[in-house]
Structure formats: structure tokens, C-alpha cells
Structure 1
């Protein structure tokens, strides 16, 4: 595993969140792409799966690597980390609902309604996380593997 010096981890977190917002926009665009019915089903599965995998991977990486490291350095942030972990669990539950809906329906509106719910929670979560942890992470000086702490979307 290669590591690189990253001193602005808060900025990196905001960049990753931006990429996840872009992935959500691509998923929505994919749902609205039109085309033949069989293409619409394939697009629905592809775009929703890609977005869900990216968001889930990001949260797993935070829970497994970033948050433990952060708590070692700043145990006073335990309530913040607990809230963020709770959000991750809620978002994962919503992603499961989207996956089930996509598997059961080819109607893009069904997927859109699930994406709306995920987006609302995701935006609240990202805003809170950036506000609570951005400056703390920017102040950390560590050798890290960005993929390990932020997930595959880096």
C-alpha cells in the first residue's frame, strides 16, 4: 500500500464529497437518458449501482480507517463520530431500499424518489461532517493512503 503526504485532509474530504455529488447527478442523468426500454433498464441498474457502490465505499472507508484514526488523535470528537456513523447506517439502509426498488421496477421515477431521499440525508450529512471535521482534518499531518481513509472515489 503506497502512502503520500496529505496535509489538507479536510479539503480532500470536501473534494470526495463533490465527486459523490457528481456521481449522484450522473445517476439522475442516466435515469433520464431515454433510449430503448432495455437500455433504460440497463442504465437504471448501471448508474444506480455505480453511485451506491461509491457512496457505500466512502462510508466504509471512513468508518474503518478515518474515524478510528481521528478518535485516537481527538477523543473529544466521539459524539461527532457517533452521529456520522449513525448517518452512514441510515444512508446504507436507504441505498438498500433503492437497490430493491431498482430490482423490482424499471420506472425511473421510482429510482428518482429513492435518490431524492438519499440526497437529502447525504447533503445534511456532508454539510455536518465538513463543518465538524474539516478544520480538524486540515490540521492533521499524517502519512495516509487516501483510498483507505476516503474510499475508492478518491
Structure 2
């Protein structure tokens, strides 16, 4: 089940406050995704830029996506904390899902061939977060 669908299921009945399951899911998802993006920005992207300078514009675009996603996750977390109804949470989840889908497709197209040959000295969990 895709992440957004699982979160919607945990959200419960439209118009009702978020359930405990959604609160836990949202916190865990936001924390893990944020750590993943921080690791990419701090460790992975500088290594890619050093080895493949022609990808610097791509990396800047991905970092901008990370910033946008952080903003969307912050808005989702605020809605969850304020016990927003399921329909409002669904709007937030749809926004996160749309940006994430686009981001992941672009990232895979641009970086997968490079990542197969990239050598990193850092631990995988430092680079990619606790995912």
C-alpha cells in the first residue's frame, strides 16, 4: 500500500480528528524522510558533484525539492498536531505525494546511473538516513 494511502487509512473518517495511528505514522514518516534528505544534501550530493560536475544543476534542483518537501511536511505535521479533519489531511497528503512522486522519478532518472559507480566513505545510514 503506498505511503499516502496508508496515511489516509490511518486518518479515519472524513471530518474526524486524526487518529493515534496517523499521529505516529506522520511523525515517523516526516522524521525519516527529513533525515534522508539531510543525508543526501550533506553527504551524497557533494560527492556526486565532485565526481560529476555536470550534474550540479540537477543536484541544486533536487535540493530545492528537498526544501519544498520539508515545507509540505511541516504543514502536514501542523495539521496533524492541530487535529485537522481527514479531508484537510488528505489535501496535505496529496500535495506531499505529488511532489514526492515527481522528485523520485527525476532523481532516479538523473542519478541512478551515477550512483552505481560512486564510491562513498560515509556509512549508508549517514548518507541515506534511517530508511
Structure-2-length-normalised TM-score: 0.87
Q: In the TM superposition, what are the counterparts of 1:5-154 in structure 2 within 5 Å?
A: 22-32=2-12, 41-153=19-131
- For residues 102 and 83 of structure 1, what CA distance do their matches in structure 2 show? 28
Gap regions ≥5 residues in structure 2: none
- For residues 146 and 104 of structure 1, what CA distance do their matches in structure 2 show? 35
- For residues 147 and 66 of structure 1, what CA distance do their matches in structure 2 show? 11
- For residues 120 and 24 of structure 1, what CA distance do their matches in structure 2 show? 10
C-alpha displacement of 1:22: 4.8
Gap regions ≥5 residues in structure 1: 1-20
- For residues 120 and 95 of structure 2, what CA distance do their matches in structure 1 show? 35
Moved over 3 A (4+): 21-26, 141-144
- For residues 89 and 113 of structure 2, what CA distance do their matches in structure 1 show? 35
Tell which has more relative contact order, 1 or 2 (C-alpha 8 A, sep 6+): 1
Aligned residue for 2:19, secondary structure, equals helix
C-alpha displacement of 1:28: 2.9
Whether contact under 8 Å (1:56, 1:92) holds in the other structure is: yes
